[in-house]
Amino acid sequence: MSHPNLPITEVLVVADCWQSEPDAEAVIQRAVAAAAESVDEDVADAEVAVMLTDDAGIRTLNSNWRGMDKPTNVLSFPALQPEGEWKRGDAPRMLGDIAIAFETMRREADEEHKPFEHHLSHLAVHGFLHLIGYDHENDGDAEEMEALETEILAHLGIPDPYADRAGTH
């Protein structure tokens, strides 16, 4: 049975390196669904696009949008929301885009001795939460976001990703 609060999640694979992880799309779909079910935000009939890229692709995005000329693991680009209330029958409301870089994500998972699928789930949840307004610019916001990520991941059977890094984000 489908949950009424789930957004449409489109996964686009734009880098060949992701071919080594054929379950990546299913992992992302499951993670975004778990996040949507765990928040109060109304994301029903909304759409999220997740781009699976490589370090070169995410480095370009990071440089162009954040002025940081280096790869990163995940970037989120919340969509501007139209004015007025969304009504049934309108086009899907875009929540925004998430980009995840294969090499950086793989390296982090290996260094932290985490299964690839667990780290991918974490990054998908993290990116989704950014799309709906969560942030980690200050300690209080970071603690709130990390606690929610940990709760969502626990529903997926994934251990606390911050357990080994107490106090960091």
How do residues 66-119 score in pLDDT, each as one tens digit?
999 999 999 999 998 767 676 666 667 899 999 999 999 999 999 999 999 999
Per-residue model confidence (pLDDT) at position 53: 98
Positions at the binding site:
126, 130, 136
Other beta carbons within 10 Å of 35: 31
> Contacts for 90-93 with beta carbons within 8 Å, 24 or more apart?
92/8, 92/45, 92/46, 92/47, 93/45, 93/46, 93/47
Per-residue model confidence (pLDDT) at position 112: 93
Per-residue model confidence (pLDDT) at position 18: 97
Per-residue model confidence (pLDDT) at position 168: 45
Per-residue model confidence (pLDDT) at position 4: 60
Higher pLDDT, 45 or 33: 33
Q: How confident is the prediction for the chain on average, in pLDDT?
A: 90
d(CA 91, CA 74): 27
Task: Of 132, 102, 125, give the one whose Cα is nearest residue 27.
Answer: 125
Share of the chain above pLDDT 70, in %: 89
pTM score: 0.90
Contact 92, 69 (CB under 8 A): no
Positions at the binding site for Zn(2+):
126, 130, 136
Task: Give the range among 55-64, 115-124, 136-145 with minimum mean pLDDT.
Answer: 136-145
Number of H helices and E strands in the chain, helices first, is: 5, 4
Residue 78 structure tokens: 């919340």
